[in-house]
Amino acid sequence: MSYPNTLEGARLADQEDTLATYRDEFLFPKNKDRKVLYFTGNSLGLQPRKAREIINEELDDWARWGVDGHLEAHRPWVAYHEFFTASLAKIVGAKESEVVAMNGLTTNLHLLMVSFFQPKGKRCKILCEGKAFPSDQYALRSQLRFHGLDPETCLIELAPDPETELIDDERVIAAIDQHKDELALVMLGGVNYYTGQVFDMERITDAGKRAGAIVGWDLAHGAGNIALDLHKWGADFAAWCGYKYLNSGPGGVSGVFIHERHHGKKDIPRFEGWWGHNKEERFKMGDRFDPIPTAEAWQLSNAPVFAMAPLLASLELFDQVGMTALRSKSLKLTAYLQKVIEDAAVNSGQSVRIITPKDEKRRGCQISIAVPGKGRAVFESLSEAGVIADWREPDVIRLAPVPMYNSFEDVYEFGQLLEKFLKA
């Protein structure tokens, strides 16, 4: 059922939303003491109410135990990363042995490429989406140069269609087929940060594997947003950040997926550290690396407990809700956002271009819009009125109604403001 674009319609939708109470588990920023409409969970997720409590527990354990907290803390620090594994595995559709929380996203992409970008002879190219997130472009280009390769010839970037700004799945698959003897790595953002487009990861992974390439996914905008099934799809690796849809707090810890087919290999190229070493032997301080036979082998250092603690608060909520229910609400909430944007455009007579695909299978919660001629002015008025959205050059407003804490009423109120500023 679709709800009417009225205050009553939005309130009815919120009443019928079984996840509505989760909103109270988060702290919303304020704009000069007024409430804000927060639509930037795709950039920085909100603080779970319980984050502070968990950080305080770790501080208390540190005060109480000092170094002995590694074993005696109620969440022993020596195993701290393990407290994230089961929840993350569910979120990305992996076996528990295939995921680990560690480092930052770009750091992890590099560590994974050290293992999984192994150019040999003619098979030395990387295929990625054009206009990928800058950090990914820097990572890919610098990895190529690190191997003595020229990014100008070895990085195949699939340019978005100039009209739609999207990249059809069929084009990605055709490009993989076309370059099948040259591809060492296919690495794309599963959900594009700018357009919000979701790629058909299952089919692209399959095409990449058939071409004999390694397939990796950057899921910065995918984890906690859409349903993922990395193990079944057969992806080789993936990485995502914790602070967007997973609400780990600024700079919070990233997660990685490494398919079990790559576990337990001693000869795999890898940058090694003691936290990847066989746990039984770790404190014997031997000089030969014996990898843990799971994704944990890619860890370098002991876990940054305080940077990780807030993520526990958020993952508890993901465990309760589950990705199926979350995605189901997300589809309704984003369809509602599309409707209020379209109504605002019609009622104001101002054209608004929705860049994000309208097919729900090809998008997550985010909708990116462009307002020809007055995008910046509309964006500034919205910000002034307490809408926290985000602006991406040259002319895009990104809006992410996050099903964990945004309401239909938020979306309705946004639509009213948008209409007002489009008319101005």
Ligand X SMILES: *Cc1c(COP(=O)(O)O)cnc(C)c1O
What is the crossing angle of helices 7-15 and 323-348, to 10°? 180
We find the least distance from the C-beta atom of residue 374 to ligand X, in angstroms, to be 27
Q: Enumerate residues 346-405 that contact ligand X by CB under 6 A.
A: none
The encoded tokens of residue 148 equal: 């003595």
We find the least distance from the C-beta atom of residue 377 to ligand X, in angstroms, to be 27
Q: Which backbone phi and psi does 258 adopt, to 5 degrees?
A: -130, 120
Residue closer to ligand X by CB (options 144, 371) is 144
| Residue of 121, 102, 122, 124 lying closest to 112 (CA atoms) | 102
We find the least distance from the C-beta atom of residue 342 to ligand X, in angstroms, to be 27
Q: How many Cβ atoms from other residues are within 10 Å of residue 177's Cβ?
A: 12
Query: Using the rule CB under 6 A, which residue among 128, 198, 220, 367 binds ligand X?
Result: 220
Query: Using the rule CB under 6 A, which residue among 81, 221, 259, 277 binds ligand X?
Result: 221
Residue closer to ligand X by CB (options 208, 242) is 242
Q: Are 294 and 97 in contact (CB under 8 A)?
A: yes
Residue closer to ligand X by CB (options 100, 105) is 105
Q: Which backbone phi and psi does 209 adopt, to 5 degrees?
A: -65, -40
We find the least distance from the C-beta atom of residue 266 to ligand X, in angstroms, to be 29
We find the least distance from the C-beta atom of residue 126 to ligand X, in angstroms, to be 15
We find the least distance from the C-beta atom of residue 192 to ligand X, in angstroms, to be 8
Query: Using the rule CB under 6 A, which residue among 98, 129, 169, 218 binds ligand X?
Result: 218
> How many binding residues for ligand X (CB under 6 A)?
12
Residue closer to ligand X by CB (options 224, 415) is 224
Segment near ligand X (CB under 6 A), from 1-9, 99-107, 201-209, 287-295?
99-107
Segment near ligand X (CB under 6 A), from 58-66, 116-124, 133-141, 166-174?
133-141
We find the least distance from the C-beta atom of residue 254 to ligand X, in angstroms, to be 6
Each residue 103-132 as x (binds ligand X by CB under 6 A) or -, in order, gives: -xxx--------------------------
Q: How far is CA 332 from CA 22, 40, 176, 197, 401, in A?
A: 16, 18, 34, 17, 10
Each residue 178-217 as x (binds ligand X by CB under 6 A) or -, in order, gives: -----------x---x------------------------
Based on the shown chain and the rule CB under 6 A, indicate whether residue 84 belongs to the binding site for ligand X: no
Each residue 234-273 as x (binds ligand X by CB under 6 A) or -, in order, gives: -------x--------------------------------
Round to whole Å and give the CA distance between 71 and 81.
14
Q: How many Cβ atoms from other residues are within 10 Å of residue 414's Cβ?
A: 23
Query: Using the rule CB under 6 A, which residue among 61, 136, 169, 200 binds ligand X?
Result: 136
Round to whole Å and give the CA distance between 239 and 100.
10
Residues that bind ligand X (CB under 6 A): 104-106, 133, 135-136, 189, 193, 218, 220-221, 241
